[in-house]
Every structure is written in C-alpha cells, then in structure tokens.
Amino acid sequence: MALITLRRNLCHLSDFRINGALGALKNQPVHHVHEAVKGHLYPWFFCSLQPGPFRVRFHHACCKKFHSENGNDLHPVGEPVFPQVHDWDSFEQNLKNMDEQLFYRRLNNCTSPEEVLSFISTLQTLPDMMAAGALQRICEVGEKDGDERLPKEVIENPVFQALCVQFEQEPSNLSNTGLVTALQALTLLSVDPQSSLLLNLVAECQHRVKTGGLEIHSLCVLAESLLKLRGPGCATLDLIIYQLQGEKLEDFTSEDIVALYRILQACTEKVDQHQTFLNKINSFSLSIVYTLSPKSISQMLTALVVLDQTQALPLVIKLGKYVVRHIPHFTNKELGKVLEAFIYFGHHDRFFITALEQHVVSLCLTLDPEVVSKVMEYCSRKQILSKPILNAVAETFVCHSEKFSPSQISELIEPFGKLNYLPPNASALFRKLEDTLHTHFNSFPPKTLLKLLHSCSLIECHPVNFMGKIFSPYFLQKLQDVEIKLDEEGFVLPFTFHEDVHKRVALCIDGPKRFCLNSKHLLGKEAIKQRHLRLLGYQVVQTGIISLYDCIFKRDLGYNQKLHRDDREHAKSLGLHVNEEEQERPVGVLMSSVYGKRIHQPVEPLNLEHGRANHLKADFYRKNEIPSFKDPGFGYISPV
C-alpha cells in the first residue's frame, strides 16, 4: 500500500527537488517554498477567486527545526499552533499499528478543516486510503454557507498542499479505494475540471476500468464522481454499468445497491436499455431492505419514482414497512421524498399513518414547511382523515404562517375542504388565512387562489372580503346527478315543464370515490353539493352505486350513468354521461314532451331499415301536393 509522507511531499515540487528533503527546505527561503506550492494549487482551487497577496507561514512539525535555525517565530499571535515535537526520531510514527476504526472515528469528530489538518499533521506517514478519507472530510466540513469552495486559508495550508501534490504526481501508486475516494472528495468542490490534478486522477481511473482492475465498490464510487464531472453521456460510465451488470448481485453491499440506483436514476434516457437489469435489482433488493439506513431508504424510493418502476410494488411495500420504524430518524428532506414516493405509488397503510401522526404531533411547531405541505398533500391525495395531523398542522399555520409560501399555504388549506373537516381552532386558522391573503394577495397565482377559496367554501368558511374579487360559482353547475320534478299528486313531470312543480328531488349517487378512504365520511366536495341543493329548495336523496356493472368496470361515478334509454336526450340536455353501449343500441325513443302521457300507438324500434329523413319529407310533399323548395340537383323531387 502506498504511503504518503507529509514531511517529504513539499520536496516533490520541481522548484526544490534536491537530495534530502530537509536540505531542500533549509536551502530555500520560506516565501519561495510557498510561491512554488501556490503555483501548483492556484489553478485547481482559485479559478474563481480574485488574485491577492499570498502570505502564509509553515507550521508543520517537519519544518520546526528549519524555522528554529533561521530564527523564525513558530507561533505568532492568531495563527494555529501545532503540537510540538522534540526531534525527528520522536516524531516517527507508524500507523500500521493504529486501529483504522479509531482513525476514522477521530476524523469524523472533526468539525472543521483546521481540526482535520491539525490531526493529520501529527502523523508522519499516512496510508493512501486514510489520506483520501482525510481529504474527503476536509471537503465535507469545509463548505460554508452553501459555498462549494474551500476557504483560502485551508487551501494555503501546507498539510493540505502536501496531500494534493501526492495525489497529482503519483496516482498510479494509489490503491483503488484511495484513488476513487480522492476523486470523489474533489468533486465536492468547484475544482477546475481541466486541472492537472483532476485530469491525472480521471485518467488513472479510466485506465483501471479498461483493464478491469476496479472492484464493485470502487466502480460505484467512480460512476457517481463521473456523473458529477462529465454527466450521463460519459463513455466510461457506460463501460462501468456494463461491468456492474456482469457482477453477481450477491457480491454487492447494501450501500452499493443504493449507489447503483442513484447511478441509473441519473441515466433516465437509457432506462429502457437497463430495464432487465433493474428488474433483477428490484427483486434482489427485497432481501436487503432490513439493512438499509433511513437515508438509503429515502434514496431508493426516490430512484424508483424517477425510474418509474411501477412494477416494483412489492419492493415499495416492504420499504414502507421499514419506513414506519425510521420515521423519527428521517431528515425533513428525506421524509418529504418518502411521502412523494408514497403519493406516486399510491402506497398507504394504517401503521404508517399512526407513526406519521405521532411524528407530526410531537414536532408540529418545528417541522419544515415543505414537509408539512407534503404531509397534507399525502392525506389529501389518499383521502385520509387524520384528525391529529390536521389539528397539528392547523396549529403550526396559526403560529408560523409567515414561513409558508403561497403554494404551500394552498396545499395546507385544501385538505380541510376536501376531507370536510374543521379543526378545533378553525376560527383562528381562517382568521390567519384571511390576514395572509390581505397582506400577500398579489403573491398568490390566480388558479392557486381560486382553489384555496373553493376549499374554504366547501367547509363554509368563506373569506368574505375576497369572495367578490375571485370566487366563481362554476362548481355549482354540476351539483346534481339526477333531477326529478313532481306535481302535487306525486307524478313525474317532464324536464322541460316548469309550471305546477310541487317538489324537486335531487338524486345524489354516491360511490366509494366520494367518501374518505378509511371511513364513510363524505368528502367536502360532495357535502357542499348536498348543502347547496337544499338551499336551492331541493329534497336531496342519497343513494349508492346503481349497477354492479359500473362498479366492476370502474365507470366514472361523477354523474348518473344508468339512465333509462328512452330519456337519453333528457340526459344530454343536463350534461350527464350516458354509457356508450346504450348510445349505440337501436331502441325506441320517447320525447320529453310526451313523457308520462298515454301512448296511443307503439313506437317502432329504430333500425337500419328506416329511410332517410329527406325521403320521408319528399314523400309527404308528394302526397299533399306541396311544391318542393329545393333547387334542382341532388335530392330534388318534382311536385305532383
């Protein structure tokens, strides 16, 4: 295994490569050493920084003797102080006897690049895998305020420079793990893709891929790094996926399987080519679900959504069972992705709802607004009436309404109307909503605002100050499924008959889609329908599904579909839906004008033997000696 010697790396630069690392440091002024290193590192990390004076002083342990002999102060005020070492012999440490787990544990406890550099500066030699891990940790903790560039003082640190120089000049001496880990660490930063550091590492990786020298884990890490550097069109990426397809899935770790999902997720344009491979992964993943972390479960569900793996429902269901256990451990972003996947696949179970209720109620005031809106969207889309969730969300909005965007407010309020539920603090909730509308009225898109106000109307909580501006009663146009008019004696009157109407009956045909999923609680849309019909003077009659046929073939239950065939024209005038098989069947038709009256002669069934209307009209003209008004030509009939 290659070892990185920190005290000698600075001597690998061509500016001062002479026999004896210590002699090189002694014979060169300090500022010259820094300028030489700066010339190598600036093109990598400072491509987007303004040039400025480069003034830094070495305080690495290997330079202590050199600085002392030249009379330089080792510990000026305000600069980091590294552990003192009495002499070179006492500094010689060997990490072969160090527990690797202890090293990574100490490394993960470091919360800043300075702490990482201070820790590894006490070590003379470092295995390349550990050096790559240290570089990765520096990049992870070095990001500040979303900036992907490392701070300038970190880049100018001699220990950090020694690490980078070794990776640039001797990539062929690195182990597979050290090589791909170093490349992965550098992809976290805004490093120039054309820098010699990245080019050398990528070239060495490509060489090892072509020779088949990388194992499964290294291939997965390399593939994700190439995706970030060069995108899904990289030719080496196709070769990596081809090699991974040839491996046995039993040899993949759980992390490798999740990484494989992430890789294929980034190549959605080629999902059809990889579908057979995906089917194998989906089947195999059933056996490793129990080993996945919350983060891995969230990433796997996200990949299944992006890859449109609707046939992998057994995997989604099993992941859902373990989601229940991990709900308290998901981050806000991860929980949002899980809910998004469950909405996409239509997954739900009572254990998940119970766990979600406990989580939301316990953290209602601290949850991220995006997570709150996703939870409400899930309940709304699945028509799940969860009073603990709705009550907690209502309290959250009253206390922190300023955190929610217009779209999130709409997603938060709509389920109350759709599920026909008023929380205990309804007055405070809708008062806060009206205040928000008054303050940010222009921030709400028209469609979003209309849906929001419609949802309020479903539960009779009208923001009256805005009804005149926006609210449109378009949803009242299709309130009734069937209308029946009765006279004083209870006889049915024709639809076009408007006089002597004693009673109007509205028949509401309520199928399963009009109720909440987990109860017989009517949805808000259907409740307001019946409420408005009563206000208009109708007697509302509620009935279930009319025919088993419609239930089996999942006919749209929004309108009456089983009208008597002799009243089809009546149905069309109401805008109701008539089954296609009834439209095509040749049957006798009774007009609404004679509906309910005695028929003196039977109506012959309509069939193909009937002549055209023009022929019948012409025959009538001929028998009654009426001249034709048609001009000579097609269909012209001369009068008798």
Give the tens place of pLDDT for each residue, 266-320.
Answer: 988 888 888 999 999 999 999 999 999 999 999 999 999 999 998 999 999 999 9
**Higher pLDDT, residue 186 or 73:** 186
3 state DSSP class of 499: coil
In the chain, what is the straight-line distance between the N-terminal and C-terminal CA atoms, in Å?
A: 114
- 624 versus 278: the higher-pLDDT residue is 278
Torsion angle, alpha carbons of 407, 413, 417, 421, to 10: 160
Question: Average pLDDT, stretch 5-30?
Answer: 38
Contact criterion met (CB below 8 Å) for 298 and 328: no
- Is 90 exceeded by the pLDDT of residue 140? no
541 backbone dihedrals φ, ψ, rounded to 5°: -120, 120
Using a pLDDT cut of 70, give the percent of the chain over it.
Answer: 64
**Mean pLDDT for the stretch of residues 465-472:** 58
Say how many CA atoms lie within 13 Å of 453 toward its Cβ: 24
Task: With a cut of 70, say whether residue 550 has pLDDT above it.
Answer: no
| Cα dist from 105 to 115, 120, 134, 332, 378, whole Å | 13, 13, 11, 26, 39
Beta strand 503-509 with 125-127 is unpaired
- More confident position, 558 or 539: 539
Q: Give mean pLDDT, residues 50-65.
A: 34
Measuring CA to CA, which residue among 155, 164, 160 is closest to residue 120? Answer: 160
Confidence of residue 144 (pLDDT cuts 50, 70, 90): low
Confidence of residue 104 (pLDDT cuts 50, 70, 90): confident
Mean pLDDT of the chain: 71
- DSSP H or E stretch at residue 486: strand 482-486
For strands 503-509 and 482-486, give the pairing: antiparallel
Question: What are the tens digits of pLDDT across the range 189-229?
Answer: 767 777 788 888 888 888 898 888 889 999 999 999 889 88
Residue 131 has pLDDT above 50, yes or no: yes
pLDDT of residue 257 exceeding 90: yes
pLDDT confidence bin for 145, thresholds 50/70/90: very low
pLDDT in tens, 316-340: 999 999 999 999 999 989 999 999 9
> In the 3-class helix/strand/coil scheme, how is 406-431 assigned residue by residue?
HHHHHHHHHHHHHCCCCCCCHHHHHH
Look up residue 113 and give its amino acid: P
* Nearest residue to 346 via CA among 175, 517, 138: 517
Q: Which of 42-56, 404-418, 435-449, 512-526 has the lowest mean pLDDT?
A: 42-56
Q: So what's the pLDDT on residue 359?
A: 92
How confident is the model at residue 366, as a pLDDT? 84
Helix (H) or strand (E) holding 492: strand 492-493
pLDDT digits (tens, 9 = 90+) for 560-618: 434 444 455 555 565 655 555 444 444 334 344 434 444 444 444 444 444 455 555 56
pLDDT at 484 over 50: yes
DSSP collapsed to 3 states, 35-59: HHHHHHHHHHHCCCCCCCCCCCCCC
